[in-house]
Each structure stands twice: as C-alpha cells, then as structure tokens.
C-alpha cells in the first residue's frame, strides 16, 4: 500500500474525467504530475503540481485548472479539503481514517510493508567489492562492500530480481606477485630467511599461507626454479586469500550470490571470442594512440597496439586491448566478463567501483553498449574516497608504516552495525570522513544508536504493556480499534510512516540507499518526539494503564513505526536492537 501513489491515481482519474467532460484537452502528458508531501506541513498533507504542469500544454490558467480539480477531488472520501494555493498548488488534507489505514497496513504486512513491485521481472546484476585476491580488505573496500550490499537489498525490496556478484581478479600480474610473496613465507616456514624484495607483498597475513604451503609440500618446492612452483603456489595462495576475503565479508554481513573468476574466463578462450566478436562489428583495429595532453608519461613513445573503437560508443579516445608485446591489457578480460554478464540475461548491470576507476567508466559502458547492441544499460556507481581520521587528525594508510587499516580492524572495534550505518549515511559520490574515535565512541553523536534506540523504545512499550496486563502481540494490535488515534501528534507519525513506500521507490530508482538511512533518522526523530510529549501530556503515552483498547491503538502506531524501522535497517544490513544497554 502506497497512499501517495493511491492519491496520485485519484488525481489522474479526476484529470481524465475533466478531459472526458471537455474541461481539459485530450492527449496531455501526465508523467510530470506529482503528489508529494509538502515541504511545510501547514500546507496540508499532500500537494499536487498538476495544475502548474498542465497549464501551458492545456492553454489554461493554472489556478483555474486547480479549482476544477479541487472540485472533483473533494468527492473522494479520503480527502477532507482541497485548497488552491500559491502559483497553482493544490493542497490536500486527508481524513484521519486514511492515515489510520496506513498503520493498519504496516501492521498487516509487517516488514513487507513498503515492498514495491516497481522492479517486477527486471533482472539486475550488482557487481561489487571485487577486491584483488592479494590481501585482506581495507577500509576503502569496506565502503564499496556496504554500499553494494545495501543497494542490492534495496533493489530487491523494490521488486527486482537481484544477483550479487564478485569478480575475482585472479589472472593478472598481481597474483604472480602474491605467489612469489607467499613462496618467501614458505621458505621462512622451512627455516630459511625470507627475501621480501621491493614490489612483493610484505604483510604478515602471508605467514600462515607459507606455513600451510609447508604442510602441503614439505620441503619439495625449495631450491626449485620459479617455473616449477609458480602456478601451484599461485593457485594455493589465491584460494587462501579468497577465503580470507569471504571471512571479512561475513564479518560485515555481506553475502555474494556469484563469484566469477577472471582466470576461468581467460582460460576458456572467452577473451579471444569477445575481441573477435567486436572485430566482427568493426570495432577492433591496429593503430597508435595520441599522447595524452598535458603531462606526458616519462617513457612515452609511439606504439602500435590492438585498439577497441570505444569512441563509437561514447568514449573520448579508443582504448588498447593488447599491450605492445601482444599480451592482453587488464581491459581485455573485463570485456569478456561484461559480455558474459550480458549473455546471462540481465536487464541491467551495475558496477560498484572505487573513485580511482573513474577513467574506466566510459570504456566499460562502451563495451556493454556494443556487445548488447544497446539493450542492456550499465550503470557504474563510483565510491568516493574514505578519508580516515584519528584523534581528529587525518592519517594516511600505508602498508610500510604499519598504519594499514583493515576491514577487520574496523568491524571488530566498531561492530558491523555502526560501520555499515556510518558508511551509508552519505551519498556514494561524496567523500566520506571516517573518524575512528567518533565511530568507536558509541555516543549519541552516532545516528545509528538514535535509530536503534527508537526501535528499542517500541519494543519496550510492548514489554511494558504486557507487564500491565494489556495484550500487545501483533495479532491483537492488528485488530485494535485505530479510531482511538485522534491526536494530531499521533496522526503525524502515521503520515511519516506513509512516506516509507514512496521513499523505497525513490531510493531504488536513484540507486541511493543513503536516502533510507536519512528517512529512518527522521522517522526515529518523530517517534522520539511523540514519546516525549507523553511526559507533559499523559494522554499521549502509548501505554494507558487500565485501558486496553486505547493502549492497543497507540501501541499499534508505535509498532507500525517499529516495523518500518526494522525493515529499513534490514535493507541497510543493521540490526534493529530490541533494547539498549
């Protein structure tokens, strides 16, 4: 149930009736007609811009259209008043029963209240994290992981068929480096001193990998040429790294549906296949690139390479798929991988990438456009930098300096709830300040506690009611006589609850899970506000001792808010606490 879209439908019906009567011309575009909560509550419960949007195409005065529309709408039993205001707004006031209906719907549907069928039949692939399997996840990865997971949950809630996918970069030079680094730790495990040369990964996390290699191979790999052991050690170490990454993701509460391997794609010849397909479209050629303007790379020289004509699909320059030595660039397997996703039948692809991949977006879009014949849209959500602060001072992560902050560091200290909420209370395209002390503080400055506290208060009310001998289970509440909700402070909370289904659709459409976090904060604020009004006006307390029917109506309202908080936190992956200690 979405009261805003219900009322919008009523507005459209009224406009259609006006057209049938000749009061409005036929063939008007109604797509911009909106029914929204007004910025200022004094204007009413809902406002529509219909008259202003239609005035010009209809060739009529906006206020005249609004007057006629108001006359039609006032026949609707849910609408108390329809007043023309300002340049042609139509402000609507709804009956208390309309708002009580929202409370009833939320109780009836529980955490499913607000689910939308907006994405029905739409298959979406959300690729995120995709951290290289060469070490533990760090703070930067954490933001992408949390964002992707929440976006996937949001799209699911809005009715899409969602696949969460991780692309394992297990085929490039970096996994050879990993293998060499692990091999040194293997030598170390065998009592030799490791040579962690420049360019190898020095992290301690490879020490157990070296020991595990010793357990498996004994001393048999010692003093052998690299060619003898590289492939085996690479395979072994890569698997170990992926296990570690899966554990890190599990700590955060992130679960993937599909892990795709670059190595598998490369080995199966699909890169060649993809490039040949593009060649068949006339999009692959041998040529040289113009040097970039401005600051040149130091070793710039003109080279002939195999290039992808990405400019034919909106890119600024063509992009190399082969290096000058004839081997594939990083881009080539990515072409094959995205083609693979297209062939798996998704209607929409979403890539969650770090902001340092900004220069990569246009070529990826070009590939998907070319290989899907323009049918499958690819949206790339760039996750901007996480700036770390400690004691209010910015500090840089450095593996060498030992200030490398892992996901595990953060989650084990702050907990997954705080980590997730903080990282989701910001748009993906704005940089995020992550202040360790503030996040660890667990104080009122931390919005996640504020929202959880609201939920805990609802649970507390229900417990108190039970102690007072008033039944307050969901089944009883669903049958409560909501006519006892009459105070405007109570109906205001119902109005906020009514916005939830609308907010879900807006957030899902914009791929903006942060909106959920901000809405939950507002909803929590409204609940806390109503709670405290009970201090001055005892008739506003949820539990009215000795009056079960009235208590149950009030608790039903609180429970409806709690159900929405619970559902919203569920999308964000945050636990709805039942009590705070």
Site for RNA in 168-227 (CB under 7 A): 169, 171-174
Binding window for RNA (CB under 7 A); candidates: 85-93, 117-125, 397-405, 477-485: 85-93
Secondary structure E strands in 58-160: 79-85, 89-94, 123-127
- Rounded to an integer, what is the distance from CA 537 to the centroid of its chain? 40
Work out whether 259 is an interface residue with RNA (CB under 7 A). no
Work out whether 421 is an interface residue with RNA (CB under 7 A). no
How many of the chain's residues bind RNA (CB under 7 A)? 108
User: Using the rule CB under 7 A, which residue among 218, 314, 374, 529 binds RNA?
Assistant: 529
Kindly state the smallest distance separating residue 218's Cβ from RNA, in Å.
31
Kindly state the smallest distance separating residue 221's Cβ from RNA, in Å.
24
Closest to RNA by CB, 294 or 546: 294
The token pair at 116 is 């939308």
Kindly state the smallest distance separating residue 225's Cβ from RNA, in Å.
22
Closest to RNA by CB, 25 or 218: 25
User: Using the rule CB under 7 A, which residue among 122, 528, 547, 575 binds RNA?
Assistant: 528
Work out whether 515 is an interface residue with RNA (CB under 7 A). yes
Nearest CA among 37, 97, 139 for reference residue 422:
139
Closest to RNA by CB, 16 or 355: 355
Q: Is 298 left (phi over 0), alpha (psi -120 to 50) or beta?
A: alpha
Stretch 378-397: interaction string toward RNA, x if CB under 7 A: ----x-xx------------
Kindly state the smallest distance separating residue 155's Cβ from RNA, in Å.
16
Return the DSSP state at 359.
G
User: Using the rule CB under 7 A, which residue among 162, 256, 352, 456 binds RNA?
Assistant: 456
The whole-angstrom separation of Cα 256 and Cα 165 is 6
Helix/strand/coil for 383: strand
Helices (H), 190-220: 207-217
Work out whether 547 is an interface residue with RNA (CB under 7 A). no
Kindly state the smallest distance separating residue 93's Cβ from RNA, in Å.
12
Work out whether 471 is an interface residue with RNA (CB under 7 A). no
The C-alpha angle 341, 342, 343, rounded to 5 degrees, equals 90
Closest to RNA by CB, 193 or 443: 443
User: Using the rule CB under 7 A, which residue among 116, 181, 460, 566 binds RNA?
Assistant: 460
The answer to whether 97 and 484 are in contact (CB under 8 A) is no
Site for RNA in 226-255 (CB under 7 A): none
Burial of residue 392 (CB within 10 Å: 0-12, 13-18, 19+) is exposed
User: Using the rule CB under 7 A, which residue among 293, 393, 402, 475 binds RNA?
Assistant: 293
Work out whether 461 is an interface residue with RNA (CB under 7 A). yes
- Can you state the percent helix, strand and coil of the chain, rounding each to 5? 55, 15, 35
Stretch 17-36: interaction string toward RNA, x if CB under 7 A: -----------------x-x
User: Using the rule CB under 7 A, which residue among 17, 23, 28, 43 binds RNA?
Assistant: 43
Number of residues written out for the chain: 581
Within 8 A by CB and 6+ apart from 413, the residues are 436, 440
User: Using the rule CB under 7 A, which residue among 185, 234, 362, 381 binds RNA?
Assistant: 362
Work out whether 518 is an interface residue with RNA (CB under 7 A). yes
Kindly state the smallest distance separating residue 397's Cβ from RNA, in Å.
13
Binding window for RNA (CB under 7 A); candidates: 111-119, 223-231, 273-281, 301-309: 301-309
Work out whether 327 is an interface residue with RNA (CB under 7 A). yes
Find residue 124's DSSP bridge partners. Answer: 162, 348
Work out whether 525 is an interface residue with RNA (CB under 7 A). yes
The C-alpha angle 249, 140, 161, rounded to 5 degrees, equals 50
Q: Supply the DSSP string of 28-49, one letter for each residue.
A: ---TT--EE--SSGGG-SEEE-
- Rounded to an integer, what is the distance from CA 76 to the centroid of its chain? 38
Site for RNA in 107-166 (CB under 7 A): 132
Within 8 A by CB and 6+ apart from 228, the residues are 221
Half-sphere exposure of residue 285, counting CA atoms within 13 Å on the CB side? 11
Closest to RNA by CB, 5 or 190: 5
Nearest CA among 123, 129, 124 for reference residue 166:
129
């Amino acid at each position: 149930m979405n009261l805003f879209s219900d009322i919008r439908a009523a507005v459209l019906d009224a406009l259609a009736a006006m057209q049938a009567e000749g009061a409005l011309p036929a063939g008007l575009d109604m797509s911009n007609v909106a029914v929204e909560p007004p910025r200022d509550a004094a204007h009413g419960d809902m406002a529509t811009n219909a008259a202003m949007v239609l005035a010009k195409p209809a060739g009529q005065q906006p206020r005249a259209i609004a007057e006629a529309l108001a006359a039609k709408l006032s026949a609707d039993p849910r609408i108390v008043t329809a007043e023309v205001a300002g340049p042609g707004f139509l402000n609507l006031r709804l009956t208390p029963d309309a708002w009580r209906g929202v409370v009833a719907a939320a109780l009836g549907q529980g955490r499913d209240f607000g689910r939308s069928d907006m994405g029905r039949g739409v298959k979406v692939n959300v690729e995120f994290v995709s951290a290289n399997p060469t070490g533990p996840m760090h703070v930067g990865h954490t933001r992408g992981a949390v964002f992707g997971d929440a976006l996937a949950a949001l799209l699911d809630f809005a009715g899409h068929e969602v696949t969460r996918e991780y692309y394992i970069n297990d085929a490039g030079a970096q996994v050879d480096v990993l293998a060499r680094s692990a091999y040194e730790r293997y030598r170390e495990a065998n009592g030799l001193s490791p040579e962690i040369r420049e360019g190898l990964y020095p992290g301690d996390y490879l020490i157990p990998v070296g020991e595990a290699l010793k357990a498996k191979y004994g001393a048999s790999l010692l003093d052998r040429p690299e060619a003898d052991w590289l492939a085996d050690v690479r395979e072994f170490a890569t698997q170990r790294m992926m296990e570690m990454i899966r554990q890190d993701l599990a700590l955060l509460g992130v679960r993937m549906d599909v892990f795709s391997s670059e190595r598998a794609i490369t080995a199966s010849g699909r890169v060649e296949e993809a490039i040949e397909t593009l060649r068949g479209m006339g999009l692959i050629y041998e040529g040289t690139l113009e040097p970039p303007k401005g600051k040149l790379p130091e070793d710039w020289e003109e080279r002939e390479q195999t290039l992808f004509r990405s400019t034919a699909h909106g890119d600024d320059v063509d992009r190399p798929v082969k290096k000058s030595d004839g081997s594939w660039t990083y881009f080539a397997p990515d072409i094959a991988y995205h083609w693979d996703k297209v062939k798996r039948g998704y209607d929409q692809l979403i890539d969650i990438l770090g902001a340092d991949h900004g220069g990569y977006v246009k070529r990826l879009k070009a590939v998907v456009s070319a290989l899907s014949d323009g049918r499958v849209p690819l949206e790339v959500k760039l996750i901007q930098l996480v700036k770390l602060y400690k004691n209010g001072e910015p500090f840089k992560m450095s593996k060498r300096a030992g200030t490398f902050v892992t996901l595990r560091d953060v989650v084990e200290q702050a907990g997954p709830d705080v980590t997730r909420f903080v990282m989701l209370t910001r748009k993906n395209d704005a940089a995020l300040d992550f202040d360790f002390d503030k996040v660890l503080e667990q104080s009122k400055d931390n919005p996640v506690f504020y929202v959880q506290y609201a939920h805990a208060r609802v649970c507390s009310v229900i417990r108190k009611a039970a102690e007072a001998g008033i039944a307050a289970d969901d089944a009883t509440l669903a049958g409560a006589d909501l006519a006892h909700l009459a105070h405007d402070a109570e109906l205001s909370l119902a109005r906020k609850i009514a916005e939830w289904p609308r907010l879900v659709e807006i957030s899902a459409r914009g791929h903006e899970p942060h909106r959920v976090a901000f809405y939950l904060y507002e909803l929590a604020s409204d609940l806390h506000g109503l709670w405290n009004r009970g201090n001055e006006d005892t008739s506003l307390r949820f539990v009215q001792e000795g009056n079960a029917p009235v208590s149950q109506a009030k608790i039903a309202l609180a429970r409806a808010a709690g159900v929405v908080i619970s559902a919203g936190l569920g999308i964000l992956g945050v636990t709805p606490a039942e009590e705070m200690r």
